[in-house]
Amino acid sequence: MGETSEFEPALLFLGLLYPASEPGPAEEAWSRLSARWGAEGWRSPDIPFTWSPYYDEELGSPILRSLRCFREPVDPSGLAEAKVFTNRVEAELSRDGRRRVNLDPGLLFPSRLILATTKDRAHRIPLRDGIFAELTLLYEKGGWKPLPWTYPDYRTPEYAEALTRMREILRAGRKRKA
C-alpha cells in the first residue's frame, strides 16, 4: 500500500485576457489576486490574443494576454478555490453584464502545466465546486510539449518562453526552501 504525503508546491499563475484599450480592470484584478496570494513573481510582456474571436464581443478587440505568476509556490490542492475566487473577481469587475477581464488560473510544476476551467470535457478531472483541472502541457527533454487538446496559444514560442521563465522561478523558490 502506498503512503500518502503532502503535495509538492506549485507556482500559481494567471492568464489575463483584456482589451488593449482598457487595461485598468486587469490591473485591478491583479491587485486583488496579489492581496490574496502575495507578491508578483514575474509577468510576461503583453501578447496579442489572435487565436479565437470567442472573447471579442464581450471584451472588445484587440485583446491582449498577460501571463503572470506569484513569487511563492502554493499547495496545488487549492486550484479549485483559485478558480472560484477569480470567477468572483471577474464578476465584480464586470460592467453591464460583460466581463472586462478574463482570468485563467493554473498551476505550473517542473514537469507539467495544469489549467482550471468550469467546462467539462472527457480529458478534464473534476475537482470541486464545478471546477475541473486540465493537464495542458508537459515539460520534457528541455521544452514544453502540447497535448491533443492544448489551446493554440499555449503551443506558441511566446508562451513557451514565458512558462519556462516561470518554471525557473518555481525551481529557484524550491531551492531556497530546501
Query: How confident is the model over 82-93, as a mean pLDDT?
Result: 98
In this model, does residue 98 exceed pLDDT 70? yes
Burial class of residue 156, CB neighbours in 10 A (0-12, 13-18, 19+)? middle
pLDDT of residue 154: 96
Answer whether residue 174 shows pLDDT above 80: no
Instruction: Answer yes or no: is 1 within a domain.
Output: no
Mean pLDDT of the chain: 95
- How many other CB atoms are there within 10 angstroms of residue 32's CB atom? 17
Provide mean pLDDT across the span 48-61.
92
Tell whether 146 is covered by a domain: yes
Q: Rounded to 5 degrees, what angle do the CA atoms 146, 147, 152 make?
A: 60
What's the pLDDT band for 87 if we cut at 50, 70, 90? Answer: very high
Regarding predicted confidence, which is higher, 82 or 54?
Answer: 82
In single-letter form, the type of residue at position 152 comes to: P
Residue 96 has a CB neighbour count (10 Å cut-off) of 5
Task: Please indicate, yes or no, if residue 2 is contained in any of the structural domains.
Answer: no
Domain hosting 161: range is 12-177
Mean pLDDT over 81-102 rounds to 96
In a domain? residue 3: no
Cis peptide before 25 (omega within 30 of 0): no
Calculate mean pLDDT across residues 14-24. 96
Domain membership of residue 7 (yes or no) is no
Tell me, what's the pLDDT at 172? 84
- Answer whether residue 6 is part of any domain: no
Judge whether 4 lies within some domain.
no
* Domain count within the chain: 1
Is residue 121 in a domain?
yes
Share of the chain above pLDDT 70, in %: 97
pLDDT at 175 over 80: no
Going by pLDDT thresholds of 50, 70 and 90, the confidence category of residue 173 is confident
